[in-house]
Amino acid sequence: MSEGLEDILAERLVVVFCGINPGMTAAAQGHHFAGRGNRFWRTLHLAGFTPQEVRPENDRTILHYHCGLTAVVERPTARADQLSLHEFTAAAAAFEQKIARHAPRYVAFLGKAAYSALSGQRNVEWGLQDRTFGNAAVWILPNPSGRNLSFSLDQLVEAYRQLRRVATQTAQ
């Protein structure tokens, strides 16, 4: 559990989406991706993970779609760049154990920063990685934060849709 924002996990999910850390609004409300400008729920729906757009206050329903939510670093911040490399390093072992314990098929990091810090890799590409993390296949997705202006909604949806296609093929 992270300062008012608990993980939404179960065993053997298809995908666990891993945010960098909770935003201040999400932590205050106790619901993942609750920030007004966050595009996570819309992106998830448009990419086909959910049949309708889930509202942040209903975030636990993501389990119905064989997906879960967690964050690498528990401390909430207004911006991810307010975290130190030390915080990622300190969280690494427990975070990997958490993923291994829940055994999802895929762990999807939302943004390159957290995975890069955890893996020690400087150059990380988008999409499927050649290493596993906690015995789960690793997929890197663009961060859906409204602060991430590098990706349009359409680009986010296409990136997430690629994961959904692969994840649903391997689930059958």
Domain boundaries, given as residue ranges, for the chain: 15-171
What confidence score (pLDDT) does residue 1 get? 39
Q: Which residues have C-beta within 8 Å of that of residue 45, sequence separation ≥ 6?
A: 51, 52, 53, 54
What size, in residues, is the chain? 172
Q: What is the mean pLDDT of the chain?
A: 91
Q: Is the pLDDT of residue 127 over 90?
A: yes
Determine the Cα–Cα distance for residues 88 and 113; give it in Å rounded to an integer.
10
Task: Count other C-beta atoms under 10 Å from residue 154's C-beta.
Answer: 10
Question: Is this structure's pTM higher than 0.95?
Answer: no
pLDDT of amino acid 145: 86
Assigned superfamily of 15-171: Uracil-DNA glycosylase-like domain (3.40.470.10)
8 A C-beta contact, residue 76 and residue 24: yes
Confidence tier at 85 by pLDDT (50, 70, 90): confident
Q: What pLDDT, on a 0 to 100 scale, did the predictor assign at position 2?
A: 42
Cα–chain center distance at 159: 13
CA atoms of 93 and 67, how far apart (whole Å):
22
What residues does 18 pair with on adjacent strands?
70, 109
